[in-house]
Amino acid sequence: MNVTDPETGLVCAYQFDGQGGAQKLQWSEIEKARSEDKVLWVHMDFSNSNACNWLEEHSGIDVTVLEAMLEEDVRPRSFEFDNGILTLLRGVNSNPGSSVEDMVSIRIWLQKSFILTTRRRPLLSVRDIQARLENGSGPTTAGGFLSALTERLTDRIGEVINQVEDQLDSTEAKFQQEEWAPQRNTFSEIRRRSARLRRYLAPQRDAFDSLSRAKGDILSDRVCMNMLEQANQMTHFVEELDLARERAILAQEETLNLLAHNQNSKMFLLAIVSAIFLPLSFLTGLMGMNVAGLPGLENPNAFNLLLGVMIAIGIGILLIFWKKNWF
């Protein structure tokens, strides 16, 4: 795991050897390495004040680029300058205790032989590039670095999209098995996750598309083609998220309809019971009055007769409801 140097804000620094490997540099070796022809990659944590000071005073980048590199909340985008390419991207959040859709940002300043990246929170895709450089299978150029990094970002985003789709498939299967009531919150969660992911993936697609049309000599034709592939992949992800959100909305609406139907069925049953017992309650109340002159008081069969009348009334009401197809 990378640990930021509290005195400098440096996360890591590498000088490419041009063959897939790299030499890891200490802070004191960076300035010397910048004067050499080999590609230098410096990765900084801009939440550290010392890193901000170095970026402002010693990085040599333009003010416009610097402001973007230190921006708190960035939306994915890419700009081509005369002396380099500025790219702001997002990746899934794999940090412990974090939600994956709370996407982590990385800012990249790319020149022919100098790569500067800044971040606030760790990003696993960066560690993947480090591992490849240390085992000799990493990028050999600045453009190759950008291509490798974007591939890892896209792959990890794809894994999260698959998780969302699997969660939706599982929830819909339970829904079809009439376990629909407990799934309401799950559908809401899927809608929120899809919306939060899509918020950054759509502009990230545009950033990749912009990189695929870069005109300088920093990105080779092969890298530009790879950027176009990444843009197409992002388009696919956005479409998958839109579809997942629509499926979740439809399922949630159907759940609400089923709940309403279930509630209405219960209310209808109560209404039928009330309709049956209303006249019966009237008769029992009438015949139960303690006043003289009520018919049948002296008749020993009065109770049986009243009970028979009440049963006949109840059966009659049920027959009326049945003929009207009310149940």
Q: What is the DSSP string of 109-167?
A: EE-SSEEEEEESS--HHHHHHHHHHHTT-S-SSHHHHHHHHHHHHHHHHHHHHHHHHHH
CA dist 36 to 11, 54, 175, Å? 21, 20, 63
What's the mean pLDDT in 2-9?
80
Residues 243 and 290 in one domain: no
Residue after which a domain boundary falls, among 231, 257, 283: 257
pLDDT at residue 40, rounded to an integer: 95
Q: For residue 296, give the CATH number of its domain.
A: 1.20.58.340
pLDDT at residue 305, rounded to an integer: 75
Residue 4 resides in a domain: no
The encoded tokens of residue 274 equal: 């009330």
Strand partners, 85: 80, 110
Least confident of 27-36, 174-183, 229-238: 174-183
Residues 241 and 278 in one domain: no
Percent of the chain with pLDDT over 70: 88
- Smallest CA-to-CA distance from 220 within 114, 141, 152 is with 141
CB 186 within 8 A of CB 216: no
Q: Give per-residue pLDDT as tens, 291-321.
A: 556 666 666 777 777 778 778 877 887 777 7
Please, what is the Cα angle at 32 between 29 and 35, to 5 degrees?
145
The encoded tokens of residue 144 equal: 């190759």
Q: What is the pTM of this model?
A: 0.77
Residues 156 and 300 in one domain: no
User: Side chain identity at 76, as an amino acid letter?
Assistant: P
pLDDT above 70: residue 125: yes
CB 103 within 8 A of CB 112: no
pLDDT at residue 111, rounded to an integer: 93
Location of structure tokens 């010397």 = 32
Residues 214 and 284 in one domain: no
Question: How many whole angstroms separate alpha carbon 54 and alpha carbon 40?
Answer: 16
Residue 195 resides in a domain: yes
The whole domain housing 158 covers 10-257
Residues 73 and 198 in one domain: yes
Residue 3 resides in a domain: no
Residue after which a domain boundary falls, among 257, 290, 309: 257
pLDDT above 60: residue 179: no
DSSP letters spanning 245-269:
HHHHHHHHHHHHHHHHHHHHHHHHH
Q: Give per-residue pLDDT as tens, 56-111.
A: 888 888 888 888 888 877 889 999 998 899 999 998 887 766 666 678 899 999 99
Q: Give per-residue pLDDT as tens, 230-272.
A: 999 999 999 999 998 888 888 777 777 767 777 777 787 777 7
Q: In the 8-state DSSP scheme, what is residue 291?
A: -
Burial class of 100 by CB neighbour count within 10 A (0 to 12, 13 to 18, 19+)? buried
CB 166 within 8 A of CB 193: no
What's the mean pLDDT in 146-165?
92
